[in-house]
Copies of this chain bind each other. A is one copy, B any other.
Amino acid sequence: MTTKAIAGNFFEDFRLGQTIRHATPRTVTAGDQALYTALYGSRFAVQSAESFARAIGYRAAPLDDLLVFHVVFGKTVPDISLNAVANLGYADCRFLKPVHAGETLTATSEVIGLKENSNGKTGTIYVRSRGQNQHGEDVLSFVRWVMVRKRDERAKAPEAHVPELPNSVAAATLASACPPIDGKAWDDGLAGSPHRFGAYKVGEKIDHGDGMTVEEAEHQIATRLYQNTARVHFNQLAEAQGRFGRRLVYGGHVMSLARALSFNGLANAFHIAAINSGRHVAPLFAGGTVFAWSEIVARDELPGRADVGALRILTRATRDVPCASFPTADATAEAPGVILELDYWALIPR
């Protein structure tokens, strides 16, 4: 018997300021984008069509922003959250450069906060994770915090340090992954909507209408595509004995379902520039049907950019609740309701 197989880090394995390089580098391809489309049905024109992307100013169609997020996130799992009790939240997530098919992504994380819980059994760690392309350029940066088990409950608590995190990403940094967009070349008919930046008002609510039922094979295929090894998504033998009796759907799968559903009402909001915060309010299991609605919570004109504006959007995804009346009650394992609150900035042509 050896210790070559990795059991993941526990709370006392993390040190403030520690930097972790994650395995495995991953070349993302047209194959990944096709699978992404097949898993979510996403229809945003910029990511769907080379001709559309090039006409408006991209050198090639960028991969879907959340596909990049999931691939980078997946790399962090074996080192950060294999022994996680709960994924508590995300903040300050910025998409910094477009990623195209053929590029290779790697990831690193820095520990920026630590706080042991009063029960002495668990603690919260805060990490800043970065995704880079094969040129070593940052393409994505985000903070997440996770509640992790201690290996040894008697291990001494580290000095508590909770990082200050912005409530939202500052406007100045929102457009770095977006080339100058030729608004005249933007074809509203092909994009699927006549509504550009000027048409959206703060406070506006949009029911995205459709529902998508999730199957075990679908979320497993997605989560493996991202090389995310979190055990709760895959091992029914163990989960049958667990808290819910069932495999949990990866929270990022819900984010992508909600984003794909949001095309109906936000078709021109083509690029996720930043995620201000993400909360997985309640779990999703196979057999659940996901719906989504969005509220426009802010608009920003982005100084220096006459081509695109930014909409701050709060998208709520629900389990087994259509969204015509814009529900806010949280789901439980038994009762339907809201399962995700995703507060993000999207760019949209002016």
Interface residues of A (CB under 8 A from B): 1-2, 4-7, 21, 23-27, 29-35, 37-45, 48-52, 61, 78, 101-102, 104, 106, 134, 189-193, 195, 199, 204-213, 215-218, 220-225, 227-229, 231, 234-238, 247, 264-267, 287, 289, 320, 322, 326
The contact of A34 among B35, B220, B289, by CB within 8 Å, is B35
Give the CA-CA distance A292 to B264 in the complex, in Å: 37
Q: Is the CB of A27 within 8 A of B51?
A: yes
A75 to chain B, nearest CB (A): 9
A223 to chain B, nearest CB (A): 8
Q: Is the CB of B23 within 8 A of A190?
A: yes
Q: Is the CB of A225 within 8 A of B34?
A: yes
18 inter-chain pairs at a CB distance below 8 angstroms, sorted by A residue, are A21-B189, A25-B45, A27-B50, A29-B34, A30-B101, A31-B32, A31-B35, A38-B222, A39-B221, A39-B224, A40-B224, A41-B229, A42-B227, A43-B229, A50-B134, A210-B234, A213-B220, A218-B221
Residues in B whose Cβ lies below 8 Å from that of A2: 204-206, 265
Q: Is the CB of B23 within 8 A of A134?
A: no
- Which chain B residue has the least Cβ–Cβ distance from A234? B212
Q: Report copies per complex.
A: 3
Residues in B whose Cβ lies below 8 Å from that of A199: 4
- Which chain B residue has the least Cβ–Cβ distance from A320? B237
Give the CA-CA distance A61 to B134 in the complex, in Å: 14
The contact of A193 among B4, B29, B106, by CB within 8 Å, is B4
Given known contacts A4-B195, A205-B1, A190 and B25 CB-to-CB distance under 8 angstroms: yes
A76 to chain B, nearest CB (A): 13
A99 to chain B, nearest CB (A): 14
Residues in B whose Cβ lies below 8 Å from that of A190: 21, 23-25, 106
Given known contacts A23-B267, A45-B24, A210 and B189 CB-to-CB distance under 8 angstroms: no
Give the CA-CA distance A192 to B102 in the complex, in Å: 22
Q: Is the CB of B212 within 8 A of A37?
A: no
Q: Is the CB of B38 within 8 A of A35?
A: yes
A258 to chain B, nearest CB (A): 14
Q: Is the CB of A37 within 8 A of B193?
A: no
A314 to chain B, nearest CB (A): 15
Give the CA-CA distance A52 to B43 in the complex, in Å: 32
